Amino acid sequence: GRDINLNVLRVEGYRHFANKLWNATKFAMTHLQGYSPGPLPPAASLSTHDRWLLHRLNGAIAEADSGMAEYEFAKATTAIYSLFLYDVCDVYLEVSKPIFDAKGTPAAAASQAVLHSVLERGFR
């Protein structure tokens, strides 16, 4: 047989990443209750952090598509990993918590649309 170099710390790191995805999705499910998906609001009506996340999403998708087209799996997976770990979980969700708490406001509705779009497109 062939030996496999298994780095336990790497496995543990990906366990933490999976836990982050789980918690982010749980947060989204809580704050997207009653939300009906539709088109994103016009960019001019979005907050700076909503536009920033959509920009980061588009960049990650382009990078992942490029990685897959070039058969560079690490490039593709790193783009999506970084999007979710750093941009969505570490920045966007933390900045958006007060906005989601202000239920029924135009800002909360816009953030719902952005979060739904990012999760739906990012997980694909």
**82-106: per-residue pLDDT in tens?**
999 999 999 999 999 999 999 889 9
In a domain, 79, yes or no: yes
Q: Identify whether the C-beta of residue 89 lies closer than 8 Å to the C-beta of residue 80.
A: no
pLDDT in tens, 27-72: 999 999 999 999 999 999 999 999 999 999 999 999 999 999 999 9
- Short-list 119, 10, 4, CA closest to 74: 10
Q: Can you state the angle between helices 93-101 and 106-123, rounded to 10 degrees?
A: 140
pLDDT digits (tens, 9 = 90+) for 60-71: 999 999 999 999
C-alpha–C-alpha distance, residues 92 and 75, integer Å? 23
Rounded Cα distance between 64 and 72, Å, is 9
Quick check: 1 pLDDT over 80?
no
CA dihedral 72, 73, 74, 75 (to 10 degrees): 60
User: What CATH number corresponds to the domain at position 62?
Assistant: 1.10.730.10
Q: How many domains, the chain?
A: 1
- Domain span at residue 20? 8-34+43-123
Contact criterion met (CB below 8 Å) for 28 and 116: yes
pLDDT at 5: 84
Query: Does 63 reside within a domain?
Result: yes
Question: What pTM does this model have?
Answer: 0.89
pLDDT for the residue numbered 68 = 97
Q: At 6, is the pLDDT very low, low, confident or very high (cuts 50, 70, 90)?
A: confident
**Structural domain includes residue 3:** no
The answer to whether residue 99 sits within a structural domain is yes
**In the structure encoding, which two tokens stand for residue 61, read together?**
């998708």
| Residue 1, domain member (yes or no) | no
